[in-house]
């Protein structure tokens, strides 16, 4: 995942990869921000139910991090 992804979901993948790096590096504020950016980028996911489920999952991660 070191190279940039092409395609409609490249931005979503970039934010998810950044969130993972931030979580592993204990950079919780940045982790939350990248999860929010990823949530804003889910429009590339085909299918309304898949988009909704992804948004729900990302929001759950955001909420659990905010509770810490």
Residue 5 lies in a domain: no
| Res. 21 pLDDT band, cuts 50 70 90 | very high
pLDDT at 67 over 70: yes
C-beta separation of 21 from 30 below 8 A: no
Is 55 a domain residue? yes
User: Is 3 within the bounds of a domain?
Assistant: no
Q: What tokens does 45 get? A: 């996911």
Predicted pLDDT of residue 1: 45
d(CA 52, CA 68): 25
Give domain status of residue 16, yes or no. Answer: yes
Structural domain tally of the chain? Answer: 1
Please name the residues in contact with 42: beta carbons below 8 A apart, sequence gap of 6 or more: 12, 51, 54, 55, 58
Token couple for 63: 């909420």
């Amino acid at each position: 995942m070191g190279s940039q992804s092409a395609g409609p979901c490249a931005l979503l993948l970039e934010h998810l990869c950044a969130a993972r790096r931030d979580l592993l590096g204990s950079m919780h504020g940045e982790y939350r921000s990248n999860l929010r950016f990823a949530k804003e980028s889910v429009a590339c996911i085909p299918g309304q139910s898949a988009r909704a489920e992804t948004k729900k999952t990302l929001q759950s991660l955001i909420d659990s991090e905010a509770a810490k």
